[in-house]
Amino acid sequence: MDRYGSSVSTSTTPPRTTASSPKRSWSAVALRWTRPAIIANLVGQIIIVGTGGAVRLTGSGLGCSTWPMCEPGEFTPSLHDASSIHPFIEFGNRTLTGVLGVLAIAVALLVWTNRSRSLSYRLLGLTPLLGVVAQAVIGGITVLVDLHPAIVGGHLLISMALVAVSAILLDRSAEGDAPPVSLVAPRTRVATWLLEIALVPVLVLGVVVTGAGPHSGDSEDGYRFAFDPAHVTKFHAGFVWLFIALLAVLTVLVWRTQPPLTKARRVIALLAVLTLAQGAIGYVQYFTGLPEILVGLHMLGAATLTAGAARVPLALRTRADVDLSGKDATRA
């Protein structure tokens, strides 16, 4: 007690400090980096379609004669007087697969360890990694079977599926896990799924057109599918016009929906721009003799359009927003 009669504490116990647990620290890292990692994964999935296209357009599909090595006993291509650029283009595409694998691993770890999210969302986060592993194996098989057109075509279509899944994962990362609630009438939902279904033959026939044309990936044997390129191209164009018609119907239905769906309008407007640009490139490349640069842009456009189309169904319904604290109370 001091001279004024008040008690004075003589305790020397230091104030308590709460150390952040490793689990809490990891949650903070996951919340900060999950979305950037998912965006990087989506960009990588689209870019690898472009590099795969470069392999095809330069006839570098057999630039490396074996897999996983580039040449027997050599993991990387050798530079010598008789070497061409083909092994380096093919090896560059394989290297990008490794980079994409690292991104997919990061996405899988960040999404799967977020226990506050639903199991369906966390499983979706594993899909890019599983797809990259499968694609690496299929890519090796395409070399071992001398670029069999069915394997090469399947390789590209799986890439398109991974682009779609990655785009869906990006949108889901910003949503909660409450049951989805539709924002549109049933007829609009039907038009949406008809649009998504129509995209499948557009992509499949696009792959067949490429395999039936001069850009199969083999510099010695350009035309791998035994189809008339002109006839296949007409079938492809027919489904493209069907896709455009369905997109026009969906656009009208969404714009007539009240109250206005701002996000849905934005997503559909972007898809319309991508579709028109992709169609323009397709017609120009056809009437100019399939120049490599336009074919490559068309392949990149197909991947970008696939990502845009995958986002449409998600823009027409709502869920609870994600709780940025990581404690989503509406797990499903």
When comparing pLDDT for 223 and 276, which is higher?
Answer: 276
Are the C-beta atoms of 305 and 299 separated by less than 8 Å?
no
Q: Give the pLDDT score at 140.
A: 86
CB 127 within 8 A of CB 170: no
CA 327 and chain centroid, separation: 28
Handedness of CA 209, 227, 233, 245 (dihedral sign): negative
User: Which residue type is seen at 109?
Assistant: L
Can you read off the two tokens belonging to residue 51?
Answer: 């590099």
The whole-angstrom separation of Cα 144 and Cα 259 is: 56
Position with higher pLDDT, 260 vs 62: 260
Spatial separation of the C-alpha atoms in residues 138 and 141, rounded to whole Å = 5
Q: Got the DSSP string for 268-332?
A: HHHHHHHHHHHHHHHHHHHHTT--HHHHHHHHHHHHHHHHHHHTHHHHTEE-PBP-TTS--S---
State residue 326's pLDDT score: 44
Q: Are 160 and 306 in contact (CB under 8 A)?
A: yes
Length of the chain: 332
Angle at 99 between CA 84 and CA 267, to 5 degrees: 110
pTM of the model as a whole: 0.85
| Residue 218 pLDDT class (50, 70, 90 cuts) | low
- How far is Cα 160 from Cα 200, in angstroms, rounded to an integer? 10
| CA end-to-end span of the chain | 60
Write down the pLDDT at residue 195.
Answer: 98
Q: pLDDT at position 328, please?
A: 40
pLDDT at 142: 87
Over 90: is that where the pLDDT of 261 sits? yes
Longest dimension (CA), the chain: 107
Across 233-245, average pLDDT: 96
Q: Are strands 181-182 and 317-318 parallel, antiparallel or unpaired?
A: antiparallel
| pLDDT value at residue 146 | 82
- The residue ranking higher by pLDDT, 281 or 8, is 281
| 171/176 Cα distance (integer angstroms) | 10
What is 93-119 written as a DSSP string?
Answer: HHHHHHHHHHHHHHHHHHHHT-TTS-H
- Residue range 284-304, pLDDT digits in tens: 999 998 899 999 999 999 999
Domain boundaries, the chain: 29-318
